[in-house]
């Protein structure tokens, strides 16, 4: 197998950015769920690791359970630092993120953490997300210094 090219790394970087973009937007703005479905494999899993356990779902389940929160609260999330590795038809992106939203009482909520994206090429040679695993930063689990935003 051959290692990925710079073109592969750029394609993965773009897909990571699109994954953040598709769930982000101001309150009341519908999200492009068709675009989200297209960037993930049909069998993809999305899993959050939390202090109280894990929550895992399909893309369809994610859309059904998170749609109202994302659109009603003006949720926005973006990458801080991405580390991308490509090997043949598989790739991984370790992506720290920062996000925010507005609570119903008008106060701002904020989050940071790390997303672990796994990718594979489809039959047309395009990269798609195979799975997404994430964990939110906590006081006892801060982001590593090299995953903080660079100035």
pLDDT cut 70: percent of the chain above it: 96
Domain 6-138: give its CATH code.
Answer: 3.10.450.50
Residues near 106 by beta carbon (within 8 Å), at least 6 away in sequence: none
What pLDDT, on the 0 to 100 scale, is given for residue 90?
96
Indicate if the pLDDT at residue 150 is higher than 80: no
Whole-angstrom CA distances from 120 to 12, 15, 98 are 10, 12, 25
Q: Is 37 helix (H, G, I), strand (E, B) or coil?
A: helix
pLDDT, tens digit, 9 for 90 and up, residues 11-20: 999 999 999 9
Report percent pLDDT > 90 for the chain: 91
Q: pLDDT of 85-128, one tens digit each?
A: 999 999 999 999 999 999 999 999 999 999 999 999 999 999 99
Check whether 1 has a pLDDT greater than 60. no
pLDDT at 85 (0 to 100) = 95
How many Å apart are CA 118 and CA 91, to the nearest integer? 6
pLDDT at 74 over 90: yes
Delimit the domains of the chain by residue range.
Answer: 6-138
CA distance 87 to 92: 9
The pTM assigned to this predicted structure is 0.93
pLDDT at 16: 98
What is the mean pLDDT of the segment spanning 62-84?
96
């Amino acid at each position: 197998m051959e290692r990925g090219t710079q073109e592969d790394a750029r394609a993965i970087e773009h897909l990571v950015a699109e994954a953040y973009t598709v769930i982000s937007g101001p309150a009341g703005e519908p999200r492009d769920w068709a675009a989200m479905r297209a960037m993930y494999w049909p069998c993809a899993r999305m899993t959050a690791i939390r202090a109280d356990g894990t929550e895992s779902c399909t893309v369809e389940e994610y859309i059904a359970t998170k749609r109202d929160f994302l659109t009603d609260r003006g949720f926005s999330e973006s990458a801080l630092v991405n580390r991308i590795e490509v090997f043949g038809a598989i790739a991984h992106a370790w992506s720290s993120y920062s996000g925010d939203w507005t609570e119903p009482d008008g106060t701002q909520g904020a989050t940071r953490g790390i997303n672990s994206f796994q990718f594979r090429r489809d039959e047309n040679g395009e990269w798609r997300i195979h799975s997404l695993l994430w964990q939110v930063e906590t006081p006892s689990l801060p982001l590593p210094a090299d995953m903080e935003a660079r100035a």
